[in-house]
Amino acid sequence: MSGHGRSGGRPTLEEVAARAGVGRGTVSRVVNGASGVSARTRAAVEAAVEELGYVPNRAARALASNRADAVALVVPEPQSRFFAEPYFSDMVRGVGAALAETDVQLVLTLAGSDRERRRLARYLAGLGIPAVVSGRRSAAEPLPYVDCDNLAGAAGAVGHLLDRGRHAVATVTGPLDITEEGGRRAMRELLERRPDLDAVFAASDVMALGARRELRAAGRLIPGDVALVGFDDSVAARHMEPPLTSVRQPVEEMGRAMARILLAGLAGEPGDEAVVLPTELVVRESS
């Protein structure tokens, strides 16, 4: 998540054109993703953009005026996952709520492919603009972040299953494939490997939904034969049959916290470097 709000001289469209040896209109077409440009010319323009650190006009105006007029919420996921996972809509709602009382516009950017991520990185690299990320980062990425206590949430979920007398607890993890179909496929493999399993902890409610379908197809009763716990406490958890026990993440509050940290950075004020919010186990009939 990043916002524009610094001043300083920036290269112009004309300078990019001169560096690439093409016309101004060609640079504009490449920057805006238009067709009708050869691969060789596009590569030359993209190289010039990266070398010069060119910023598109709207962002450049904001930088030059030392005024933040937009905040980008960057989701490095494909559209299919963005619309399938309730996590993302909750995050957008939280960010939007925190920005509602300001004059800053929220811009949602999906960068699901490597090409899209590289293109976005070229625009953002070297700008020196404030940024905050969702999820804990390594020491090599010294950026402010907001996260929830996933470790404690997972420990609480498994502890709950053990307290209920379960002995063979399996887990369906992410992030390789956390869609419903991924959960169903993982559950099928787990049943083949450990047919005696009596509990499953899934890393998302959507994967838990897939696991539930596979368990039912295998004739396993929930929770009689297999207890099931998800993660997120999404709408899907409440409407699943039986209703799903799930670890509640304060995703909307995470979005609010990210926006607050970013707004503080844009204003040149000190802000939190790390915010870790607690989770809560919501017990329902599935366990």
Rg, C-alpha atoms of the chain: 23
pLDDT of residue 195: 93
Provide the greatest CA pair distance for the chain: 72
pLDDT of residue 241: 92
Which option is the CATH number for 150-249: 3.40.225.10, 3.40.50.2300, 3.40.640.10, 3.40.50.800?
3.40.50.2300
Q: Which residue has the tokens 């493999």?
A: 189
Which option is the CATH number for 2-129: 1.10.260.40, 2.60.40.650, 3.20.20.140, 3.90.78.10?
1.10.260.40
Other C-beta atoms lying within 10 Å of the C-beta of residue 164: 15
pLDDT of residue 200: 96
Helices (H) and strands (E) in the chain, counts: 12, 11
Q: Quick one: 20 exposed, middle or buried, by C-beta within 10 A (0-12, 13-18, 19+)?
A: buried
Q: How far apart are the first and last CA of the chain?
A: 37
pLDDT of residue 13: 79
Cα dihedral 96, 179, 160, 234, rounded to 10, equals 30
pLDDT of residue 67: 53
Q: Would you state the structure tokens that stand for residue 240, as one six-digit string? A: 């699943």
Is 10 in contact with 55 (CB distance < 8 Å)?
yes
- Please list the ranges in the chain whose pLDDT falls under 50: 5-8, 59-66
pLDDT of residue 166: 95
Domain with CATH 1.10.260.40 in the chain: 2-129
pLDDT of residue 119: 73
Domain with CATH 3.40.50.2300 in the chain: 150-249
Is 69 in contact with 62 (CB distance < 8 Å)?
yes
Q: For residue 279, give the nearest of 225, 232, 213, 222 by alpha carbon.
A: 232
Q: Amino acid letter at 91?
A: M
